[in-house]
Amino acid sequence: MRRSILAAGLSGAALLVPAASHAVEGALGRPVTGTGVVPNAGIVSPEPIMAVNVAQVYLNGSIGSGRAVPIVGETSAGINAEIAFTLATFMKVWDTGPGAWNFASSFTLPYLWTEVNASFAAGRLQGARSDRASNLFDITFAPIIAGYHFSKTEHVSVSLNIWAPTGQYDVNALANPSLNNWTFVPQVAYTKIFAAYGLEFDAVAGVQFYTRNSATDYRNAPLFTLDTMLLKHFGKGFSGGIIVGTTQQLGNDSGPTADRLNGFVGRDWAVGPIVTYDTKVGARSMLSLGIRWVPTVSSKNRIDSTRTFMGTATLVF
């Protein structure tokens, strides 16, 4: 059960990314489809433990040339974006004693490197433009993560994850280490273990609510995200499985640029493999490693990336 802390924290912080957007302003928004689910996603450890996780997300994708995309208050004719996103997450499971409920809190410090290329035909930005950014991104935290144990093999956790606009933002820049808005993400995670078959099913669902970007008067519509994973445990700490995820926009974006694009409604699907390895470190600590590839298989008004990778390392103590 010591490795169960990975769930609530990582699925809350992981993965939401930045500065070029998706079916929202810039075309990516906070979520990167397929990166929000982790092993034991619905389990909050019954033990009072600490965990430190480092996650690295990389994607390189585009919205095709000739497609109108809202970005920094203007409309571009397609964009290309390369993003490397590093998140350091710190979690604490509180000592709440025996019982079906357990509680945790988490804080994530993200760092972003990104390069964005876009073409503009009119407005204050014209011609082919390219921009880079490398800085701390918007911080995210979950004050309370509540986990409930239906049984030893079935678990659920609920949380409210909050993104604060702490990163640097420049309305004249294509690449920004911030979305310049608050984002509130109520989330539910579920885990079912089929011990007789060495199988585990995890699912993480959430809805992202964005405040208005005061610099561009753009407001992203809510996004529904669902990432699922079926994992097979092979023994000696190794596991492998398949991830299926989707992001679906709920309603139209609003603001002058969004109105010109009929709300810029978007969605996408991603499918790909995951491999994990768990090992004991010392007398009480556990180290968990994971790597996944979750390419886009279908998209509309969101960055289409066949090179979406995520690696994680978590120490539980």
Kindly list the domain boundaries of the chain, sorted by start residue. 50-316
Q: Cite the beta strand spans of the chain per DSSP E.
A: 50-71, 74-93, 101-120, 127-136, 140-149, 154-163, 183-194, 199-210, 223-235, 238-249, 267-281, 285-293, 296-300, 309-316
Residues 6+ apart with CB under 8 A from 83: 17, 18, 19, 20, 28, 57, 58, 59, 60, 112, 113, 114
pLDDT digits (tens, 9 = 90+) for 253-280: 888 877 677 777 889 999 999 999 999 9
- pLDDT exceeding 90 applies to what percent of the chain? 64
Is pLDDT above 60 for 2?
no
Is pLDDT above 50 for 21?
no
CA dist list (Å): 147 to 1, 54, 180, 286: 13, 22, 31, 20
CATH architecture of the domain with residue range 50-316 = Beta Barrel (2.40)
The pLDDT score that the predictor gives to residue 74 is 60
The pLDDT score that the predictor gives to residue 107 is 96
Residues 6+ apart with CB under 8 A from 50: 90, 91, 92, 93, 316, 317
The chain-wide mean pLDDT, for the chain, equals: 86
pLDDT digits (tens, 9 = 90+) for 75-120: 665 678 899 999 999 999 999 988 999 999 999 999 999 998 876 6
- pLDDT exceeding 70 applies to what percent of the chain? 83
